[in-house]
Structure 1
Amino acid sequence: MAKLKITQVRSTIGCKADQKATVKSLGLRKIRQSAEWDDTPQVRGMIKAVRHLVTVEEVKS
């Protein structure tokens, strides 16, 4: 299964509460912090909700 490396590139200050919660649930707390997740529809949906705050790259494992 492919993995995704998700990196926070923008602050959550001024964002809606649900977007802040989504970033937190992805395991991100600081700008330039990264987390690796399996590529699933649930994770893709969370990324779509906060796509303006994160960057995503595919990791070969």
Structure 2
Amino acid sequence: MTTDITPGTIKIFLFKSLIGVNKSHRATIRGLGLKKINSCSILVKTPEVLGMIDKVRYLIKFS
């Protein structure tokens, strides 16, 4: 996977801890490919990924 952001991709950072977070939200974060605070993932912008981002918006930053 390259680190270049193309028009059809989105870059996601986990910036809050998962301690005390709902289990389904933890699973969503894991599904986005994020493990630790400040980890980064570059994903293709699909409706599924955008829905996952909307669910855990309070834990992540994206661009």
What TM-score do you get using the length of structure 1 for normalisation? Answer: 0.89
1:15 paired residue number = 21
2:31 paired residue number = 25
Counterpart Cα distance in 1 of 2:19 and 2:28: 13
Query: Match for 1:50 among 56, 60, 63?
Result: 56
Counterpart Cα distance in 2 of 1:55 and 1:18: 19
Identity %: 37
Deviant stretches of 4+, over 2 Å? none
1:38 paired residue number = 44
Aligned residues: 57
Counterpart Cα distance in 2 of 1:45 and 1:11: 20
Counterpart Cα distance in 2 of 1:7 and 1:30: 9
Counterpart Cα distance in 2 of 1:12 and 1:49: 14
Q: Structure 1: where are the runs of 5+ without partners?
A: none
Q: Structure 2: where are the runs of 5+ without partners?
A: 1-6
The amino acid that maps onto 1:24 is: R
Higher RCO (CA < 8 A, seq sep 6+): 1
